[in-house]
Amino acid sequence: MAFALAILTKRNNVIDVMNEIFNNKRNRKMKRFIYLFTALTSLLIIGCSKDGIVSPEVVSDQNDYKLIQLPKASGMHVNTIYSDSKNVDGSIGGTLSLQGSYAGGPFGTVTVNSTLQFPAGAFSGTKTISMTADDQYCASTFQPGMSFAISGIYNITYTGVDLAGINPATVKFVYLKNDGTLEYPSHEGIIVDFATGKISVKNAKLNHFSRYGFVN
């Protein structure tokens, strides 16, 4: 009986040793698998981050946006459409600008001041470029429809606008596509000042032409 117990004990010891060896190998394989999985995941995350940085504009299918309205002109006057048009050689660049004002709104006067600057090499050939400020909304239309090799730099400031009910945190400067979707051009900041009815965007990058404006 004692001899049988000794053999059984040795057998159990051998089984324990084999289990430990098996577990050590399995752990090493598992560690190797976890390392490879982590490395691959890190590469994928880095790749996605680079892709996000490359794209300067984000497209949204939002269709419940509201353009910020301009105040109506006082008395019998009608809002004036302000525009500038110029022949621009894309290889040299050029600047369009417009300024305008009219009586109306909670501050007595509404003003608009905008500039669009094309750097040298923005597009090929010479084009007749027009920039028109909307007479009902804080928006502008650009013609002709075209895209640029180098972005145009756009600045616009309105004052005297009725900003009651506007949430500054959700005001966006957008490209309004014909299909109802929005693009958000990169820029250096939007200012909303309730004290003066001011709304503006600084150095927005326009990559193509159509209609741009402020939404909330």
Question: What is the CATH number for 143?
Answer: 2.60.220
> What's the domain range around 47?
1-54
Any domain includes 201? yes
Query: What's the total number of domains in the chain?
Result: 2
Per residue in 160-194, is it b (16+ CB within 10 Å) or e — as a string?
A: bbbbeebeeeebbbbbbeeeeebbbbebeeeebee
For position 11, what pLDDT does the model report? 43
Helix, strand, or coil (residue 72): coil
Assess if residue 69 is contained within a domain.
no
- Please tell me the predicted confidence (pLDDT) of residue 141: 95
- Please indicate, yes or no, if residue 199 is contained in any of the structural domains: yes
Tell me, what's the pLDDT at 9?
Answer: 43
Mark whether 197 and 111 lie in a shared domain. yes
Judge if 209 and 130 occupy the same domain: yes
For position 178, what pLDDT does the model report?
81
72 CB-near residues (< 8 Å, 6+ apart) = 79, 104, 105
Buried b (16+ CB within 10 A) or exposed e, 60-91: eeeeebebbebbbbeeeeebeebebeeebebe
Ordered per-residue pLDDT tens for the chain, 216 residues: 433 333 334 444 444 544 444 344 444 444 343 333 333 333 333 233 222 222 344 444 455 679 999 999 987 666 678 999 999 999 999 999 999 999 999 999 999 999 999 999 999 999 999 999 999 999 999 999 999 999 999 999 999 999 999 999 999 999 998 887 899 999 999 999 999 999 999 999 999 998 999 999
Residue 50 forms part of a structural domain: yes
Q: Quick one: 200 and 106 in the same domain?
A: yes
Does residue 64 form part of some domain? no
Q: Where are the alpha helices (DSSP H) in 55-99?
A: none
- Classify residue 26: in a domain, yes or no: yes
Domain C-terminal end among 54, 70, 94? 54
